Structures are given as structure tokens and as C-alpha cells.
């Protein structure tokens, strides 16, 4: 009864399910660039029990989407990476479209895109992208992978790692926590904004920032979710 089905399982042309796409995205995000993703880390990102991840990860490895060595985490294969980037492109184009064309506030696009990314066809995503002028980043500043599967993987410094006295332009903020996004919006810490670190209190204390004539103070947890492109300035980076 499963012979025919087995046969049709050529290499990998069946559409992936929503959970599978989410696993691949999570694994990509964790091991961005190269590193292996740990079971527990995947579980935490997806809010699943580690045991569930063990099971799924084995199936994904069987399908050739990732390389799995028991007890030692997983890495995307080329095919898995392609699938992850395809979903990531969908997600980010959708976010950009919702914000641009439908007036969605930036703190609510993520949740919507998290579901739509699995239902939208390539054609829809391409039309969305075309309609809003082929954006290169989503509303949170994350780069949108191209159709052929390339992305800008530049690693930026977080505001928590910028030295006192240094300046940077905000390029990207974490996009999953709506409340955080609303707060950043209030502070107008938005992609494109130029910010200078004025001071940093010891023992993970508040970081004082200047932006234009505005001054404000945020905690390191928040600062670590704001990525900046450092500007050549009077100071360097701190470890």
C-alpha cells in the first residue's frame, strides 16, 4: 500500500507542511551561517517539548532536509537551506506587504505572516513584492532573501555591544515580541535611526542613548535586540 507512495518520494518535490517549514526556519535562524542547532534550542524557539523535536528532526533528516547526528544537533543540508530561505522570503515579503499596502502596524505583521507564509503561493509572494517595489528588507529591517535563494548574512553589532561614545544606524530589530516593538516605536528606535551610546551603567545597568536632540535610557536586554551598523566615530567596539 505504501509502495506507490514510496516511489513518488523522488528527491524532494512534495510541498512541505507548515510545521516542517517552521522547523527549517528555526534551524536556519539558530545556525545561521554554519553552526549546528541544538535540540533544546529548536524546542525553545518553537515552544515544543524537546522530545517532539527529536522525533521531527529524524524525519527531516530522512527526507534529506538536514544532517543529524544523534546527541549532536542538526545542520541544514543544501536542500533544507533552500527550503528555509524560501519560507523566510515569504515571511518577510508578507510582512513588508502588510505594513506597506494594508497599513498594518509593525508589531502585528509577524504573527500574521507566521501563518500566511505557509499558505501563500510563490506567485502571490512575487506579486506582493512587485506591488510594493521589491523591498530589500522587511519592516523590522531583516533582509529579504531573493527568489534564487541568496540573502545578505552580514552580522551586525547590537546596541548592547556598542562602545560608549560610538554611534550607529539602526538596521534591524527583533520582530517577535509585539510589546517590545511598540515600545521601540515609542522611543522611535527604528531602522534608519542614528543613535549614539552616551553611557552605560555597570552590572548590566541602563544604557543611555542619544538620537538627535532626544536622550533616553534602555536596559541591556532590550539593547541586545537592536542591531546597528556602527559608524566610524570616536570610539570602537567593546567585547
Partner DNA sequence: GAAATAAGTTAGTATGTCCTAACTTTTCCC
Partner DNA sequence: GGGAAAAGTTAGGACATACTAACTTATTTC
Least distance from C-beta 187 to DNA, angstroms?
Answer: 33
140 binds, among Mn ion, a second copy, DNA, none (CB under 5 to 8 A by kind): Mn ion
Rounded Cα gap, residues 197 and 161, in angstroms: 10
116 binds, among Mn ion, a second copy, DNA, none (CB under 5 to 8 A by kind): a second copy
The residue from 49, 51, 119, 231 that contacts a second copy (CB under 8 A) is 119
Say whether residue 205 binds DNA (CB under 7 A): no
Quote the cell numbers at residue 162.
556598542
Say whether residue 131 binds a second copy (CB under 8 A): yes
Say whether residue 8 binds DNA (CB under 7 A): no
Question: Which residue do the cell numbers 555597570 mark?
Answer: 202
Say whether residue 132 binds a second copy (CB under 8 A): no
Rounded Cα gap, residues 140 and 227, in angstroms: 10
The residue from 128, 166, 181, 189 that contacts a second copy (CB under 8 A) is 128
The residue from 32, 49, 105, 122 that contacts DNA (CB under 7 A) is 49
Rounded Cα gap, residues 18 and 114, in angstroms: 9
Per CB under 5 A, residues contacting Mn ion are 22, 95, 114, 138, 140, 142, 175
Question: Binding segment for a second copy among 38-46, 75-83, 126-134, 182-190 (CB under 8 A)?
Answer: 126-134
In angstroms, what CA-CA distances link 18 with 76, 147, 149, 182? Answer: 17, 20, 19, 28
Residue 88 falls in which region: left (phi positive, over 0), alpha (psi -120 to 50) or beta: alpha
Contact 212, 148 (CB under 8 A): no
Contact 128, 94 (CB under 8 A): yes
Quote the cell numbers at residue 201.
551603567
The residue from 20, 116, 166, 223 that contacts a second copy (CB under 8 A) is 116
Say whether residue 55 binds DNA (CB under 7 A): yes
Amino acid at each position: 500500500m505504501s509502495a506507490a507512495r514510496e516511489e513518488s518520494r523522488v528527491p524532494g518535490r512534495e510541498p512541505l507542511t507548515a510545521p516542517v517549514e517552521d522547523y527549517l526556519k528555526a534551524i536556519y535562524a539558530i545556525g545561521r551561517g554554519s553552526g549546528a542547532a541544538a535540540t533544546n534550542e529548536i524546542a525553545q524557539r518553537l515552544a515544543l517539548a524537546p522530545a517532539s523535536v527529536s522525533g521531527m528532526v529524524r524525519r527531516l533528516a530522512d527526507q534529506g532536509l538536514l544532517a543529524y547526528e544523534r546527541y549532536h544537533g542538526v545542520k541544514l543540508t543544501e536542500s533544507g537551506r533552500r527550503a528555509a530561505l524560501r519560507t523566510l522570503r515569504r515571511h518577510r515579503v508578507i510582512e513588508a506587504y502588510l505594513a506597506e499596502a494594508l497599513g498594518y502596524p509593525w508589531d502585528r505583521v509577524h504573527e500574521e505572516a507566521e501563518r500566511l507564509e505557509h499558505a501563500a503561493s510563490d506567485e502571490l509572494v512575487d506579486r506582493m513584492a512587485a506591488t510594493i517595489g521589491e523591498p530589500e528588507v522587511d519592516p523590522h529591517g531583516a533582509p529579504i532573501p531573493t527568489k534564487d535563494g541568496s540573502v545578505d548574512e552580514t552580522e551586525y553589532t547590537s546596541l548592547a555591544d556598542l562602545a560608549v561614545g560610538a554611534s550607529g544606524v539602526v538596521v534591524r530589530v527583533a520582530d517577535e515580541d509585539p510589546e517590545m516593538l511598540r515600545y521601540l516605536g515609542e522611543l522611535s528606535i527604528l531602522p534608519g535611526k542614528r543613535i549614539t551610546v552616551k553611557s552605560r551603567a555597570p552590572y548590566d545597568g541602563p544604557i543611555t542613548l542619544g538620537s538627535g536632540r532626544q536622550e533616553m535610557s534602555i536596559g541591556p536586554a532590550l539593547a541586545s535586540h537592536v542591531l546597528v551598523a556602527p559608524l566610524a566615530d570616536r570610539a570602537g567596539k567593546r567585547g
